[in-house]
Copies of this chain bind each other. A is one copy, B any other.
Amino acid sequence: MSYHIYLAGEIHSDWRAELEKQISEELDVEFIFSGPQENHEKSDAIGETILGTQPDLLYRDIQSSKINNLRTQLFLRKADLVIAYFGEKFRQWNTASDVSLALAKNKPVILIRPENLHHPLKELSERANVTVDTIPKAVQVLKYLFD
């Protein structure tokens, strides 16, 4: 039996690779990982890549967002667990949205965020199941669940 984990959040660091590496070292369980497009340029351009040049930046974003939302919805529906990483940079409102859609579907959620982001994330932290401030701590939570 395998578990599907959706990795929401920051795409400007290699936290997913780091998390997956630590999990594979610590746990002997089959996990399937999914998440958003991590290539930022590709993510912002996908609408025009597929549909051709759009009349302006607003429509360029509209078309890319539709495809990115399709991706998120497809994989989030399959997820047994969601781990979301909030970094210092960017507003990441789509991360807050992904987490909340998962919560509304009764999917367990672990938040990772630096301590100093605690205050702006306080309501979301209390809606999620668990909040930690580092990747190794998230791995420890998984270790507690699956050992």
Contacts and interface: CB of A to CB of B under 8 A. Distances in A.
Nearest to A2: B1
Interface in A94-147: 94, 96-101, 103-108, 110, 118-127, 129-130, 132, 137, 140-141, 144-145
Given A80-B78, A100-B101, A137 B1 contact: no
B125 A65 contact: yes
A68 to B, nearest CB: 6
A64 B140 CA distance: 13
Interface of A: 1-4, 32, 37, 42, 46, 49-51, 55-59, 61-62, 64-74, 77-78, 80-81, 86, 90-94, 96-101, 103-108, 110, 118-127, 129-130, 132, 137, 140-141, 144-145
